[in-house]
Chains A and B, each alone.
Chain A
């Protein structure tokens, strides 16, 4: 099992550009999450999904969108990138509320 994979690993965006961060898990987990981690801070939840076709907002959803058309994939869309979205983005998955397994992260810089 590859676990949770994220692409790309690094990305630099210009202000106003858009992009999609990809997340795939091969563990047949029903729950998936997107977090962001700013320097020296804990992780904050952006969006989560409890199954295909079901998504909901977390603590910091503004400026982001998600979709979950399959169990395996949970892409995060950034529209009109802003410097405040410079961060490291982590995707995670779990079986219900059990242990969460994290991907390696995407380091995004918006200039």
Chain B
């Protein structure tokens, strides 16, 4: 059974720092991996999607990498800002044609001004 783990559960950094969020999964037979952002009391916003054949994706200050063989993904945030404060969720597609996602519990990020 696929399991997704995110470490750390919470992270506090000063504004301007570069940071890395980690995601690991137990079954390397994934279809894709997605990173989401969730603000308190809100829904999820998709940040990046990496297909299983890709190694990384970039969007602005965000860069996500995927190492399928080791079951790991990282989300790199450059020059963090207070507006980046949120919970970041990693999810893997469990394979097959349904697109069903298995989620980690998230990393709660706080960026201090």
A residues neighboring B (CB under 8 Å): 4, 31, 33, 35, 40-45, 48, 50, 56, 58, 90, 92, 94, 96-105
Contact = CB atoms under 8 A, between A and B. Distances in A.
A100 B105 contact: no
Contact of B49 (A42, A98, A102): A98
Interface string B53-76: 000000000000000000000000
B95 to A, nearest CB: 10
Chain A contact surface mostly? strand
Nearest to A90: B43
B105 to A, nearest CB: 5
B99 A42 contact: no
Nearest to A9: B41
B43 A103 contact: yes
Given A42-B89, A42-B105, A96 B43 contact: no
Given A90-B44, A104-B42, A43 B97 contact: no
Nearest to A4: B43
A104 B34 CA distance: 18
Contact of A102 (B43, B97, B98): B43
Contacts of B25: none
Contacts of A94: 99
B32 to A, nearest CB: 7
A42 B46 contact: no
A101 B98 contact: no
Contacts of B43: 4, 90, 102-105
Contact of B101 (A45, A96, A103): A45
B93 interface: yes
A58 B89 contact: no
Contacts of B49: 98-99
Interface string B73-113: 00000000000000001010100011111111110000000
Given A102-B45, A103-B43, A105-B42, A41 B98 contact: no
Given A43-B89, A45-B100, A102-B44, 16 more contacts: A4-B43, A31-B98, A33-B101, A35-B103, A40-B105, A42-B91, A42-B106, A43-B103, A48-B99, A58-B100, A97-B32, A98-B99, A99-B49, A102-B43, A105-B42, A105-B43
